[in-house]
Structure 1
Amino acid sequence: MSILENYYKKVIQYDLINKFFYTHLNEIPQLKKIILNFGCKHFEVRNIASALLSLELVTMKQGSLVKSKRSNILLKIRKGNPVGCVVVLKKNMMYTFLFKLLSDVFPSLKDFKGISVPKKLGVTSFSFTLKDLISFKELEKQFYLFINLPPLNVTLVTNTKTKEELLYLLRSFKLPLV
């Protein structure tokens, strides 16, 4: 059991029960999964391979390619061509990645003031983008391979029912929201 999972079970659940009203234990909000996504604008094997390798190094889980479902003339994408890669983290790996994000990556980012909360916030998920990926220690060692990485999209998926529950859950995990 990771540190954040233990913190969730011992502290956050009780805080949520005291703050909001629930009739069953199943209704208590929890973090379901984390989705990491790279979207590559131009189809080059080298860019997609470096994005897949960086996802695998950061998460310790093999990513999968995302292929385009339909062709787009403006973006010069044919149907079936790879356009990005994705990794879905659940359970223990999810909490391990979130702990790494909170303890290593966010403090090492330059001029980082926090993640801004959008005005149109979803009820069950929260997304943000990381542009400086060299702050991951795994990618820092092979810097020359990961120079031209696209921004990493991180989506935290929960089972909350209101925006207030979502923000309270994310803030209780000590996510730096502004």
Structure 2
Amino acid sequence: MTLKEHYEKHVIPAMKEQFGYKNNLAVPRIVKAMLNVGISASQKDPKVKETIKDTIRTISGQEPVERSAKKSISSFKIRKGQIVGMLVTLRGKRMYDFLDKLLHLTFPRMRDFRGLRKTMVDAHGNLTIGFREAVAFPEIKAGDLERQHGLEVTVVVGGAKGREEGVALLKLMGFPFTEK
């Protein structure tokens, strides 16, 4: 059973019962998943940028978009228009495939992973997970990367009225939250 089928058959009825929704369309849902990598000033080397781009492309199956600085900040040694990160937004089938891989392959591969904290979910129900190393993903081999870099995954929940509903949805979808 795919994650989308699981959502339609199990999560929607459980959320309707728990929060009293009268309509299936009123139930919160996962809208998109975003992968973000920041490129620090120390990584100005074009080879490093290309490595990061290849890593994101391999993990997501989609070409990343380069994000540039909106304004200059001298203390961070950043100029307006300078590339400061790369971003991929996944929706639809690609999003569900990525989340399935995240839940069933990536989390079990992580060292010392004990679950997600509820504080990782913001006031709108969105979950943000930071990875120190991209090696946690099964497509990336430890020896392939010259320089380790982290990345951030944000799961955007639409329709949640607060943190409690977002956590409930993500728990029912299979995200491993700790009880603390």
TM value normalised by structure 1: 0.91
* 8 A Cα contact 1:37 1:84, kept in partner: yes
Q: Does residue 122 in structure 1 map to residue 123 in structure 2?
A: yes
**1:81-120 to 2 correspondences below 5 Å:** 81-118=82-119
> What amino acid is the match of 2:133?
D
Per the alignment, residue 139 of structure 2 pairs with 138
SS in 2 for 1:6: helix
AA partner of residue 174 (structure 1): G
Partner of 1:80: 81
Q: Distance in 2 between matches of 1:119 and 1:105?
A: 17
Q: Helix, strand or coil for the counterpart of 1:12?
A: helix
CA distance in 2, matches of 1:164, 1:7: 20
- Asked if structure 1 preserves the Cα contact closer than 8 Å seen for 2:133 and 2:149, the reply is no
Q: What CA distance in whole angstroms lies between the structure 1 residues aligned with 2:120 and 2:76?
A: 29
What does 1:2-81 correspond to in 2, within 5 Å?
3-42=2-41, 43-81=44-82
SS in structure 2 opposite 1:71? coil
Q: Which amino acid aligns with 1:21?
A: G
Unaligned runs of 5+ in 2: none
Give a deviation string over 1:77-116, Cα, whole Å, max 9, x none. 1111111100000011001000101111110111111122
Deviates further, 37-46 or 55-64: 37-46
In the alignment, residue 102 of structure 2 is paired with which amino acid? L
Structure 1 residues 159-168 or 19-28, which shifts more? Answer: 19-28
What is the distance in 1 between the residues matched to 2:144 and 2:78? Answer: 25
AA partner of residue 169 (structure 2):
L
Q: Which moved more, 1:161-170 or 1:128-137?
A: 128-137
Give the Å deviation of 1:152. 0.8
TM-aligned CA distance change 1:144 to 1:27, over 3 Å: same
**Cα displacement (A) at 1:119:** 7.7
Partners of 1:174 and 1:123 in 2: how far apart?
A: 19
- CA change 1:145–1:71 in 2 (3 A) is farther
Alignment RMSD? 1.7
Counterpart AA for 1:26? L
Q: CA deviation at 1:177?
A: 1.6
Q: Which amino acid aligns with 1:37?
A: N
Structure 1 stretches of 5 or more lacking a match?
none
Could you tell me whether the CA contact under 8 Å between 1:115 and 1:177 is conserved in 2? yes
Given the superposition, is the C-alpha separation of residues 120 and 104 from structure 1 closer, same or farther in structure 2, using an over 3 Å criterion? closer
Report SS of the residue matched to 1:80: coil
